[in-house]
Amino acid sequence: MRSIIDGPIDADKLDYLTRDSENLRLPYGRGIDVMKLTQSLTVLINSTGARARGHIGIHDKGRIPAESLAFARYALYGSVYWHRTHRTVKAMLSRIALKVCHDYAIRHGDQQWRRALGTELKKQLDIASVGGESPVQGVLFGESKPVPEQYPIVYLDAATISLIKWLVREAGESYRELGRLLIQRTLYKKVLVATRSRTENVELWRKIDSIYSGLGENSLQRFDLVEHLQTSIADRVKDWNQSTPSIETGVPTTVVSEFIVRSASEPLVIIDYPPTKDGASRGLEFLREDEWSGASPGSLSISSPIETSSVWVALAEQQRVSTGKLRVFIHPRFARLVRQALGRDEVMALLVDALDAVADGRRPRQ
């Protein structure tokens, strides 16, 4: 049953790939031959010792439609789901959520914080589903209540804004501006992008994968990582400011001072890396077309009737290697400062140091 909703050709993928392509007017998911694909579905049996398990697969005749679904997924992740603007918005929201996870872990302990946070989150989702307390819900639900000036972007639905506001309250006063910028869609600016295919450091990506594997795992390590990086960047900016006259940099000393002070408590640095999502726990398997054995005319060759699609495997690997990028973002007021003070290579070096600190179990400096 699991492979019906969590497999290489599951019902969820058939739904969102075709629906999103239609709504976004993109060609990728609209070219999937859903009819032929569904007509080619079958149940494949894998035996391990005395135990046999069944999962969804396809007959050989449905191989091309199934592989076109894999390509549609690859294309939509590269052009939509992992687009830099979309990832920036998610990263800003995740930064707030990581602080909430960190604070719940302190209050409730390592063993209980997930349950406590899950209970409270469910309550907030119930509130949001019936309108929540968003200041823009009047406009969105046809009422006459005016939109306050600080919430100019009304295409965020009321439930989303209600949840953002709750997260900000939980995260604390220092995260209020991040929440405001997120609602206004004033996005943080990129200062570093690293792609696996262009960074030949196997150990680096192993450490990154260990922290960012899965959707909701290792949240406390992710929080520590970005805190380590923000502290290191602030230290380097301070050193740079002391050694470089402001008249040469073109950056006002007030901006430098403000960055150093605010970095001690506010979330000015964000790290984003899409969690590893291979699409399924197993590859796309198909039942090969019957092959007649030349040695024994009239009999079937059934030595290995189930094969894994090499196209599916290649696309899954290519998505992980080339479209999944690690990015570091800075508060828009300080992006120019950080780019001028550090540059890409130094930010990368500080990220490596932060990864080492997390791997060694060192906590960020308070």
Q: Where are the domains of the chain?
A: 2-81+277-290+302-319, 92-186, 188-274+325-366
pTM: 0.81
Tell me phi and psi for residue 14, to 5 degrees.
-60, -35
Dihedral angle of Cα 87, 93, 94, 98, to the nearest 10 degrees: 160
pLDDT at 135 > cutoff 60: no
- Phi and psi of 251, rounded to 5°? -100, 120
Kindly give, in sequence order, each residue whose CB lies less than 8 Å from that of residue 147, ignoring residues fewer than 6 positions away: 135, 136, 138, 139, 154
Q: Which amino acid is at 131?
A: G
Amino acid at 24: L
Confidence of residue 138 (pLDDT cuts 50, 70, 90): very low
Give pLDDT tens digits for 96-127: 999 999 999 999 988 899 999 999 988 888 87
Q: Which class is 2-81+277-290+302-319 in CATH?
A: mainly alpha
**Cα–Cα distance list, 76 to 29, 165, 322, 349 (Å):** 8, 30, 14, 32
CB contact at 8 A, 101 and 198? no
pLDDT value for 280 = 58
Per mean pLDDT, which range of 5-14, 69-78, 219-228, 344-353 is the poorest? Answer: 5-14
Beta strands in 91-206 (DSSP E): 189-195
139 has pLDDT over 50: no
pLDDT tops 90 at residue 185: no
Q: How confident is the model at residue 134 (pLDDT cuts 50, 70, 90)?
A: very low
Q: Could you tell me which residue, 137 or 95, shows the higher pLDDT?
A: 95
pLDDT digits (tens, 9 = 90+) for 312-338: 888 888 887 777 789 999 999 999 999
Does residue 165 carry a pLDDT above 50?
yes
